[in-house]
Chain A
Amino acid sequence: GAVVSQHPSRVICKSGTSVKIECRSLDFQATTMFWYRQFPKQSLMLMATSNEGSKATYEQGVEKDKFLINHASLTLSTLTVTSAHPEDSSFYICGGGLYEQFFGPGTRLTVL
Chain B
Amino acid sequence: AQTVTQSQPEMSVQEAETVTLSCTYDTSESDYYLFWYKQPPSRQMILVIRQEAYKQQNATENRFSVNFQKAAKSFSLKISDSQLGDAAMYFCAFSLQGGSEKLVFGKGTKLTVNP
Interface of B is mostly: mixed
Determine whether the beta carbon of B43 is less than 8 Å from that of A100: no
Residues of B within 8 A of A106 (CB): 43-45
B28-57 Cβ-contact flags toward A at 8 Å (1 or 0) = 000001010000001111010010000000
Are A43 and B91 CB-contacts (below 8 A) given A93-B45, A98-B98, A106-B44? yes
Q: How far is the CB of B113 from chain A (nearest CB, A)?
A: 19
CA distance A97 to B106 in the complex (A): 20
Interface membership of A34, Cβ < 8 A: yes
| Neighbour of B42 across the interface among A31, A43, A97, A105, CB < 8 A | A105
Are A100 and B102 CB-contacts (below 8 A) given A91-B43, A106-B43? no
Interface membership of A61, Cβ < 8 A: no
How many A-B residue contacts, CB cutoff 8 Å?
A: 60
Determine whether the beta carbon of A100 is less than 8 Å from that of B99: yes
Determine whether the beta carbon of A34 is less than 8 Å from that of B103: yes
Residues of B within 8 A of A34 (CB): 102-103
Determine whether the beta carbon of A102 is less than 8 Å from that of B102: no
Instruction: State the B residues within 8 Å of A (CB).
Output: 33, 35, 42-45, 47, 50, 91, 95, 98-100, 102-108
